[in-house]
Amino acid sequence: MKIGCPTEIKPQEFRVGMTPDAAREAVNHGHQALIQKGAGLGAGFTDEDYIAAGAMILDTAEEIFANADMIVKVKEPQAVERKMLREGQLLFTYLHLAPDPAQTHDLLASGCTAIAYETVTDASGGLPLLAPMSEVAGRLAPQVGAWTLQKANGGRGILMGGVPGVAPARVVVIGGGVVGTHAAKIAAGMGADVTILDRSLPRLKYLDDVFGRDFKNQYATAGATAELVREADMVIGAVLIPGAEAPKLVSRAMLSDMKPGAALVDVAIDQGGCFETSRATTHADPIYEVDGIMHYCVANMPGAVARTSTQALGNATLPFMLSLADKGWRQACEDDPHLLNGLNVHAGKLTYYAVGKALGLDVISPTLALKS
């Protein structure tokens, strides 16, 4: 199989879909790795690194899309890239379709087969291709939130850990999954007063057993959430419903009760955001203010630490990429129901229920798509 990896073109996106190590593995399995010139530079990988791994360097994205049987990326294909997809071509990347009708319709029109990293599952019910970026984004969230809290950036002028005689920042993390747990760990490590909210009692018990007094936890009723948000200096949104649009848990009306200059960091922005006032921003212009509250809503947070993120993502995606290349997507998905859960689009049909529900589109079962 010819596996193509174009340069990411989303603003301030420095990650790359395939590392030189992944290219070497693909070549060792008998496949061709086609890498766009300069695709790895943002993550610290040169064209020479890829050539040494046995990959072929092509000058343009048009050449990559025209020649590759499978396209491997990081972020969802942008409009100009979607025009280059063709019938029967396999796309393997993050998609986040639920809040993105334009992308969804373009993928359906292209006739391609699209497998989304974020909906591939594992035997424990986890999301193995989302987890590494969730870990990165969770660890970044308190860091960028602390920057947003600085007075020069419009924030309250609060130091996360305080100093002797001055209280630390109060940080509320909504969601106790991978993102939330890593965010709480880092915020607590910075010395902040941290509370994590979740609706799963087993998850709250786990957090209490493992992290003890590092941070507090509380059941996420609407009342408890409103009370904690009102007193917070920073709120980190870390909620995920796999493949679906994120629920809006902090309304605009709640902002008027918050401390002026408080920071909202919406890690769920890729799935539409979990704050009513969230809108996607970029690393070049990451923050904005609504009703006196600072918002950080960068849609590709891990792109800021591109080398770490690329390596972590590559470690997770490599076995699935090789399976798709070695067997073809049908056999690979038939052999692995967890990979089949990643199938979102095939031959003009939507195959993921949560996306169809969010966008009001008809859906066929992925099992049926295997036979079409």
What is the residue-wise DSSP string for 204-218?
A: HHHHHHHHTTSSEEE
pLDDT at 241: 86
Q: Is 246 helix (H, G, I), strand (E, B) or coil?
A: coil
Going by their DSSP bridges, the two strands 287-290 and 293-296 should be labelled as: antiparallel
Contact 61, 2 (CB under 8 A): no
First to last CA, the chain: 21
Give dist(CA 91, CA 107) in Å, integer. 10
Active site residues: 96, 270
φ, ψ dihedrals at 261, nearest 5°: 85, 0
Residue of 240, 238, 239, 189 whose CA lies nearest to 215: 189
Distances in Å between the alpha carbon of 86 and those of 70, 82, 149, 276?
A: 11, 9, 46, 36
The verdict on pTM exceeding 0.85 is yes
* Residues with pLDDT less than 70, the chain: none
Specify whether the backbone of 320 is left (phi greater than 0), alpha (psi in -120 to 50) or beta. Answer: alpha
pLDDT at 26: 98
Give dist(CA 270, CA 280) in Å, integer. 8
DSSP code for 163? B
pLDDT at 244: 85
Tokens of 90: 């396999």
Going by their DSSP bridges, the two strands 56-58 and 170-174 should be labelled as: unpaired
pLDDT at 54: 98
Crossing angle of helices 131-149 and 178-189, rounded to 10°: 40
Give dist(CA 302, CA 313) in Å, integer. 10
φ, ψ dihedrals at 329, nearest 5°: -65, -35
236 has which bridge partners? 173, 265
Give dist(CA 28, CA 17) in Å, integer. 18
Give dist(CA 54, CA 72) in Å, integer. 17
DSSP code for 122? -
